[in-house]
Every structure is written in structure tokens, then in C-alpha cells.
Amino acid sequence: MEEIWSRVSVRRFEDRPVEREKIEKVLYGAMQAPSAGDEEAWRFYIIEDRALLKELSKVSPYASPASSAPAAVAGVFDRKALRFPEFGEIDCAMASENILLALEGLGLGGVMLGIAPIRERMDKMHELLHLPLQEEAFAIIPLGYPLGKGKSRNRFDRRKIHYL
């Protein structure tokens, strides 16, 4: 539970690479997420190329953290692997939350940069990553060792709870 309480979005990173074994642990966490019908249609692309990270930072007006990150995970889903097509983005969202929590647990940080459902952003990311035709871009998660980190805040609000 500690990762849930302490996680904050990290947009600035130290200038040092992230060890591959840590990236693999993060992806292990991502793939532990539930998915509709247990279809696991997500796919993950790890971007470490500085020039490509710079290009990805221009996909959205909010994607600038990708330009200074030592790496990023691009989450996509494979339309052909979906038995329940309406849930591809939801499945990727759950995997993305697991990524963010895994980063926190490993002393890393990251931020989810939304790409889907905005078609222009999805198409640009698809083009930059040379994704197969059946794959749809979902999000970019720049990651690395935090360069400073804000404090998490308590977001619990009893007024938003309704017992029936």
C-alpha cells in the first residue's frame, strides 16, 4: 500500500540510465494487471533513443517530460487480440497504473502522458514508433530516477462515497 500513498507524478529526471532489470520488473508489474476476458492485448515498447524521446515529447502539448527522460514505456493494444474491443484502452489504463506503482516501489518515477483517445496523437505515436497496423497507441510513460519529487497529498474525500 505504501506505493499507493506515496506515488506522485514525476516529470523531471536525473541524467542517468535506468537499469534493464528494473525496467523488466516494471513490465512484470504491468502484465499483472487484470484485463477484460483475460485477453492481455497490451503491448509495451521501451524507448531509450534520445532522438525518438525528443520526437515523442511533441506528440501532445503535455508530453514534454519525455524529452528529458532516460527512457519511456509506450503502451499500446493489439486490436486483433481483443475479444472485447471496447476494453482495450481500459486494460492499458490498468497496466499503466501498475507501471506507475512499480516505478515508485523501485525508487524510480514517471508520469502517464495520455495519447488515446485523441486520434491525432494516436496516429503520430503510431507513425513515430512504426507500430504494426493492428496496434493502437494508448499512452507514453516517461520514467527515470526523479530529479526532485513532490509530496503526495491525501485525496480521500468521504463526500464522494455512497453506501447503498
User: What per-residue confidence (pLDDT) applies to 18?
Assistant: 98
- CATH number for the domain formed by residue range(s) 2-147: 3.40.109.10
**Cα–Cα distance, 132 to 4 (Å, whole number):** 34
pLDDT averages per 10-residue partition of the chain, 164 residues: 90 96 98 96 97 97 96 97 94 97 97 97 98 98 94 92 96
Name every residue whose Cβ is closer than 8 Å to that of residue 11 and which is 6 or more positions away in sequence: 64, 65, 111, 142
Q: What is the pLDDT of residue 29?
A: 97
Predicted pLDDT of residue 91: 97
pLDDT of residue 54: 98
pLDDT at position 133 = 97
**In the chain, which ranges are E strands?**
42-47, 71-78, 109-110, 113-114, 135-144
